[in-house]
């Protein structure tokens, strides 16, 4: 039995078992002894037999006690070994299928299960430790007194301190207390001893040993933002280069040909026509460049929305009146007013309808427009019956266009406007038939 158990109940139990065993044999012993002592046997014979009976009686009672107590002690040894984390002990019953063997087998299975669980927990902890050490996100945990209980390598680097100097100190002492106030998910511009920049902050709570703890995760966003910026610049330079080259290459080559034409002596007969044709091309290419630069300026200079009140049905009616390249079916939704910049939202819808009408006009199809409330959002859906989207990855890349006279900024502007209003815009192929569906999401109420 477990050594920490009080001694009294153990003795009491063992004594009780011995007394029960003695009690079981007592009537028979008493009857045999009374028969023996009332018989006509010699006193010597009576004494010898009585001693033998008593020795057997007590001996068997003690043997029965041992039979019961010993397996219990073995079981107790196994349990205390499990308690100490030793899973090597196996129990073997005397006979397969008897009650003791069943108990021993169940105890062995329990030992195997605990062993497997302990191994799993050890492996999971080791994995967690490795992940914590390797990730470049700083992780801190604080107990209910706001004292630091755990910090990973990135956290030590962020605070430029060794773990011994940090553990046990309060969040205020190590300069992290401010993150526990305000929103648990936010970004923050901040200088730490180990680096400065833009950080993503996440705070959550968990319980350990029944006490509340807090987990603080600080992620460096600067690098990710720089990567994104770099990608955007690369895209922009690629598109700008492409556009400029499209206009400048023909201008240069035509200017060269015209120079040769007017240098000729005598001048060719049709020099006037050729010169005019060349100048026309130069003019049209220059106009296209100007258009391109204007659209670039529009994209770069989009002001923040001036939020007023927009009556949804009226806004949609205005925008649809301006588009006549394909028939537009409006499935009216609820009458409501939303907070928004009327001009920007009108521009947005005009762009979406223009794209949808151009796409539908290709196949002689129609455009469907509908709106409804979905949770906190007003959702406006514009479906067309055009060819659908060939290259979804590039749709929102500035200046990406598949149209000969397209600018490639319509969708980017639309998304910027939607996001400026706290909403979003998606454009995907329809699942029910060929065509595309744009879904605009705008908060239906002021937040
Ligand atoms: P633009 O219309 O000037 O090309 P946009 O930014 O509005 O510029 O659109 C970019 C590209 O996205 C288009 O050239 C076209 O390839 C694709 N696109 C936009 N809307 C649709 C649509 N409804 N169906 C199919 N393709 C579309």
* CB of 367 closer than 8 Å to CB of 326: yes
Q: Is the CB of 357 under 6 A from ligand 1?
A: no
CATH 3.10.105.10 correct for 308-443: no
SS percent in the chain: helix, strand, coil, step 5: 55, 20, 25
CA distance 77 to 90: 10
Report the separation in Å between the CA atom of 386 and the middle of ligand 1, taken as the mean of its atom positions: 11
Category of 176 on φ-ψ map: left (φ > 0), alpha (ψ -120 to 50) or beta? alpha
Query: C-alpha distances in angstroms, 168 versus 153, 192, 194, 207, 216?
Result: 16, 19, 20, 18, 15
**Bridging pattern class, strands 185-192 and 148-151:** unpaired
Mean pLDDT of the chain: 88
Look up the CATH superfamily of 135-220.
Answer: PAS domain (3.30.450.20)
pLDDT in the model for residue 447? 66
Burial bucket for residue 406 (CB in 10 Å: 0-12, 13-18, 19+): middle
Strands across the sheet containing 211-220: 148-151, 138-142, 211-220, 195-208, 185-192
In order, the DSSP letters of 226-292 are HHHHHHHHHHHHHHHHHHHHHHHHHHHHHHHHHHHHHH-SSPPTTHHHHHHHHHHHHHHHHHHHHHH
Nearest alpha carbon, ligand 1 atom 14: 401
CB-CB neighbours of 247 under 10 Å: 19
Helix (H, G, I), strand (E, B), or coil: what is residue 439?
A: strand
pLDDT at 8: 54
**Domain-wise residue ranges, the chain:** 13-83, 135-220, 225-300, 308-443
Residue 281 main-chain phi, psi, to 5 deg: -60, -45
Mean pLDDT of 134-138: 89
Phi, psi of 144 (to 5 degrees): -70, -10
Q: Report helix, strand or coil for 202.
A: strand
- Ligand 1 within 6 A of 398 CB? no
Give per-residue pLDDT as tens, 307-318. Answer: 999 999 999 998
Q: What is the mean pLDDT of residues 312-341?
A: 93
The Cα 211–Cα 121 span in angstroms is: 21
First and final C-alpha spacing in the chain: 66
Strand 328-331 and strand 367-374: the pairing is: parallel
Residue 160 DSSP label = T
Q: Buried (b) or exposed (e) across 48-82, using 16+ Cβ within 10 A? A: ebeeebeeebeeebeebbeebbebeebbeebbeeb
Confidence category of residue 10, pLDDT binned at 50, 70, 90:
low
Distance CA 87, CA 80 (A): 10
Task: For residue range 98-123, list pLDDT tens digits in order.
Answer: 888 889 899 999 999 999 999 998 88
Judged against a pLDDT cut of 90, whether residue 22 lies above it is answered with yes
Dist. CA 74–CA 70, nearest whole Å = 6
Calpha distance 185→373 (Å, rounded): 27
What is the predicted pLDDT for the residue at 230?
A: 72
Closest residue (by CA) to atom 20 of ligand 1?
355
User: How confident is residue 11, by pLDDT bands cut at 50, 70 and 90?
Assistant: low
* Rama region for 427: left / alpha / beta (φ>0; ψ in -120 to 50; rest): beta
Q: What is the pLDDT of residues 280-299, one digit of tens each?
A: 988 988 887 887 778 777 77
Q: Whose CA is nearest to atom 12 of ligand 1?
A: 395
Q: Please tell me the distance between residue 239's alpha carbon and the centre of ligand 1 in angstroms.
A: 16
Counting ligand 1 atoms within 8 A of each CB, the residue from 365, 385, 395, 437 with the most, and so the one to mutate, is 395
Residue 397 to residues 58, 96, 412, 415, Cα–Cα distance (Å): 97, 75, 7, 11
Query: What is the reported pLDDT for 372?
Result: 95
Specify the range with the lowest mean pLDDT, choosing from 225-229, 349-353, 360-364: 225-229
Between these two residues, 401 and 2, which has the higher pLDDT value? 401
Contact 340, 303 (CB under 8 A): no
pLDDT recorded at residue 2: 46
> Quick one: pLDDT at residue 3?
46
Burial 128-152 (b: 16+ CB within 10 A, else e): eeeebeeeeebbbbbbeebebebbb
Please provide residue 76's backbone torsions phi and psi, each rounded to the nearest 5 degrees. -65, -40
Q: Which of 411, 425, 428 to mutate to test the pocket of ligand 1 (most atoms within 8 A of CB)?
A: 411
The band of 9, judged by pLDDT with boundaries at 50, 70 and 90, is low
User: In sequence order, which residues have a C-beta less than 8 Å from that of residue 360 and are 6 or more positions away?
Assistant: 325, 326, 366, 367, 384, 385, 386, 435
Mutate to test the pocket of ligand 1, among 298, 385, 410, 429 (most ligand atoms within 8 A of CB): 410
Q: What is the mean pLDDT of residues 421-434?
A: 93
pLDDT > 70? residue 444: yes
Q: Which two tokens stand for residue 52?
A: 């033998």
pLDDT at site 229:
67
Containing 308, the helix (H) or strand (E) segment is: strand 308-311
């Amino acid at each position: 039995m477990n050594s920490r158990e009080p001694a009294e109940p153990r003795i009491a139990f063992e004594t009780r078992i011995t007394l029960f065993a003695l009690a079981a044999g007592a009537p028979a012993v008493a009857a045999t002894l009374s028969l023996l002592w009332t018989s006509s046997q010699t006193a010597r014979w009576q004494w010898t037999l009585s001693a033998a009976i008593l020795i057997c009686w007590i001996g068997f009672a003690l043997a029965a006690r041992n039979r019961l107590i010993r397996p219990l002690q073995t079981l107790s040894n196994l349990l205390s070994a499990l308690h100490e984390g030793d899973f090597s002990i196996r129990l073997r019953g005397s006979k397969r299928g008897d009650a003791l063997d069943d108990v021993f087998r169940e105890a062995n299975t329990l030992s195997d299960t605990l062993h497997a669980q302990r191994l799993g927990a050890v492996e999971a902890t080791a994995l967690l430790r490795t992940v914590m050490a390797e990730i470049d996100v700083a992780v801190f945990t604080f107990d209910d007194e706001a004292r630091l209980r755990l910090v990973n390598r990135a956290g030590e680097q962020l605070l430029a301190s060794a773990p011994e100097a940090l553990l046990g100190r309060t969040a205020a002492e190590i300069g992290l207390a401010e993150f526990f106030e305000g929103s648990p998910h936010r970004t923050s511009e901040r200088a730490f001893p180990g680096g400065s920049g833009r950080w993503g902050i996440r705070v959550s709570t968990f319980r350990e040993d029944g006490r509340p703890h807090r987990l603080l995760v600080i992620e460096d966003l600067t690098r990710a933002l720089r990567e994104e910026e770099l990608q955007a610049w690369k895209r922009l330079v690629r598109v700008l280069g492409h556009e400029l080259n499209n206009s400048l290459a023909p201008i240069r080559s035509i200017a060269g040909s015209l120079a040769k034409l007017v240098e000729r002596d005598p001048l060719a007969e049709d020099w006037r026509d050729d010169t005019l044709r060349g100048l026309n091309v130069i003019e049209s290419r220059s106009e296209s460049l100007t258009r391109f630069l204007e659209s670039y300026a529009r994209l770069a200079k989009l002001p923040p929305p001036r939020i007023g009140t927009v009556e949804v049905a009226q806004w949609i009616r205005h925008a649809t009146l301006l588009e006549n390249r394909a028939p537009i079916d409006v499935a009216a939704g609820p009458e409501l007013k939303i907070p928004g910049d009327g001009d920007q939202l009108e521009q947005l819808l005009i762009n979406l309808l223009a794209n949808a009408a151009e796409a539908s006009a290709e196949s002689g199809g129609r455009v469907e427009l509908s709106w409804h409330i979905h949770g906190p959002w007003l959702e406006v859906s514009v479906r067309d019956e055009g060819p659908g989207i060939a290259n979804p990855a590039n749709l929102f890349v500035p200046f990406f266009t598949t149209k000969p006279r397209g600018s490639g900024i319509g969708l980017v502007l639309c998304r910027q406007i939607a996001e400026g209003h706290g909403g979003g815009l998606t454009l995907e192929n329809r699942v029910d038939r060929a065509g595309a569906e744009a879904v605009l999401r705008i908060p239906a109420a002021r937040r």
